[in-house]
Structure 1
């Protein structure tokens, strides 16, 4: 028997200072979607520190609400920023 299918959100395009506020609100709404959540990042073509802060906020807020949140399918842009910030193991394992 398999577990419940997680609610899923795809983020596409830029996750930068230009769109950070919009993504912040979108992710906060998404966190009300259930106890098992997944964010797909394969479509992210650009990520900056503001976008990284939004992802860290989502992880923090999910933990605070006792939700399971996984970040999946990291695009090359996401992998590069996570590696640069030395967060790759942290966000992949803890998210």
Structure 2
């Protein structure tokens, strides 16, 4: 069974961290098998609060023996991951969305 996908749109920054944290935790809890895929293709801005949020969500999923997969990394997310050398931390291949 494929895990459900949650698309994050707009900013993944300090300005939305609290809102997105609740959304992520609710999506993880509601996933039928507990696994969740995050589509990051529509993330327009990404800062250290966004990094912390993704790290916390990954840790929360792992604590419940669940998987959190990150896919379709937007240019903003790719830049942040490359600057901070985070690709290995999350363990997901960096997959930019297809160009139009």
TM-score (norm 1): 0.89
CA distance in 2, matches of 1:44, 1:93: 17
Residue deviations 1:11-43 (CA, integer Å, cap 9, x gap): 010011110110011111111113221000000
Q: Partner residue of 2:62?
A: 63
Residue deviations 1:45-81 (CA, integer Å, cap 9, x gap): 1000001111111100000010011100000000111
CA contact (8 A) 2:28 2:35 kept: no
Residue aligned with 1:31, SS: helix
In the alignment of these two chains, the number of paired residues is 91
Aligned Cα RMSD in Å?
1.4
CA distance in 1, matches of 2:34, 2:11: 27
CA distance in 1, matches of 2:40, 2:74: 6
Q: Partner residue of 1:31?
A: 28
Unaligned runs of 5+ in 2: 94-100
Following TM superposition, the consecutive aligned residue runs of length 4 or more in structure 1 with deviations greater than 3 angstroms are: none
Q: Which moved more, 1:44-53 or 1:28-37?
A: 28-37
TM-score (norm 2): 0.85
Q: Partner residue of 1:22?
A: 19
Unaligned runs of 5+ in 1: none
